[in-house]
Amino acid sequence: MSTASTHTSVDGSPLSAQQALAGMLYAVIAMACFAVLDTTNKFLLASVPMLMVLWFRYAFQALATTALMLPRKGRAVFQTRALKLQIIRGLLLLASSFLAFGSLIRMPVAEFSAIAMLSPLAVTVLARFVLKEHVSKLRWVYVAGGMVGALLIVRPGGSMDASHAWIPLLMVLSYSSFQILTSYMAKTETPETMHIYTGWVGALVSTCMVLSVWTTELTGFQWMLMVLIGCAGTLGHYLLIVAFARAPASRVTPFLYSGIAFATLTGWVVFSHIPDPIALTGMALIALCGLGAGWLGQREHAKSLPPAHD
């Protein structure tokens, strides 16, 4: 029998242990960046208009992405076969960010991070009812378990007013729709083109929105935190793209749940908040169901592959 490795990278070439390790490491660093992003957002939103923080986050990403990609790709990076879908995709992510900011105002960072991790499970639901894909009974069990975990976090008497629970859950739905559309568009659009349109759609729309709340009465420290948000968000998204380019999703996805641990740590350092036992149970349930769904997806994918030849 052949002794060649059966693991391959996204471009079909053999996947080395170093590449897989690099992909996992990039994913962990990306999640640390997102924890810093969310924690800084929550801190800033107490004193800076939400739309202004949102605008700066997208303006920074749009300019930084363009400055990085335009010299390498030229005007070709703006060429697209699906301009309308690019705009819709950008609007979906902008809506997700708006709802995320609204959630962070009302709930701790750790609990917010755990709710956000429902997105892979929500994608399963959308794949079934929108794309008409088959979903196994076990996968439905994982989805139900994740929702139970979310209810434990946003329950009455918890750290968030239960009447506002719809905000993070709507965020998950919006972001899951964004992921489904991304998967569909990836068949004809390059990651660079999708990434640059995402930034500019968000920047242009948020620019129109921010005019009504614009203020110059910000301290140097607040502007420094705004730059930190831009850097953390841009670097986090870039590292996540690199992670999935270096290693298969089955290797990378489990490490995305490290974001809950990072968010718990940063929330404790900045806000002295520790989730209560019931919320911790819900967070653990979401992580376990997400990991289980990822494992099931990998097993189903492996079964769909043709058998290896001697």
Q: What is the DSSP string of 48-96?
A: S-HHHHHHHHHHHHHHHHHHHHHHHHGGGGG--S-HHHHHHHHHHHHHH
Specify the pLDDT at position 126.
79
Average pLDDT over residues 86-105: 94
Number of domains in the chain: 1
Contact call for residues 44 and 229 (beta carbons, < 8 A): yes
Contact call for residues 64 and 230 (beta carbons, < 8 A): yes
Which tokens sit at 290? Answer: 């997400």
The percentage of residues in the chain with a pLDDT greater than 90, rounded to a whole number, is: 37
Average pLDDT over residues 161-187: 84
Contact call for residues 102 and 38 (beta carbons, < 8 A): no
Contact call for residues 275 and 283 (beta carbons, < 8 A): yes
Residue 4 lies in a domain: no
Average pLDDT over residues 185-205: 89
The strand pairing partners of 161, in sequence order, are: none
Confidence of residue 250 (pLDDT cuts 50, 70, 90): low
CA distance 221 to 223: 5
Per the listing, tokens 């729309």 go with: 205
pLDDT at 307 over 70: no
CA distance 33 to 51: 21
Which tokens sit at 200? Answer: 């500019």
Residue 161 lies in a domain: yes
Residue 134 lies in a domain: yes
Tell me which residue range forms the domain holding 44: 17-304
Report which DSSP code applies to 141.
Answer: H
Other CB atoms within 10 Å distance of the CB of residue 305: 8
Residue 310 lies in a domain: no
Confidence of residue 306 (pLDDT cuts 50, 70, 90): low
Average pLDDT over residues 129-139: 76
Contact call for residues 8 and 305 (beta carbons, < 8 A): no
Residue 132 lies in a domain: yes
CA atoms within 13 A on the CB side of 153: 34
pLDDT tens for residues 48-80? 999 999 999 999 989 998 998 899 889 899 999
pLDDT at 8 over 60: no
Most confident of 116-120, 191-195, 229-233: 229-233
Residue 3 lies in a domain: no
Residue 6 lies in a domain: no
Confidence of residue 15 (pLDDT cuts 50, 70, 90): low
Per the listing, tokens 């749940």 go with: 257
Select from 227, 209, 199 the least CA-distant residue to 52.
Answer: 209
CA distance 83 to 90: 11
pLDDT at 222 over 80: yes
Contact call for residues 288 and 162 (beta carbons, < 8 A): no
Confidence of residue 271 (pLDDT cuts 50, 70, 90): very high
Predicted TM-score (pTM) of this structure: 0.80
CA distance 186 to 190: 6
Confidence of residue 7 (pLDDT cuts 50, 70, 90): very low
Select from 101, 116, 80, 102 the least CA-distant residue to 195.
Answer: 80
Residue 1 lies in a domain: no
Average pLDDT, the chain: 84
Which tokens sit at 56? Answer: 């700066």
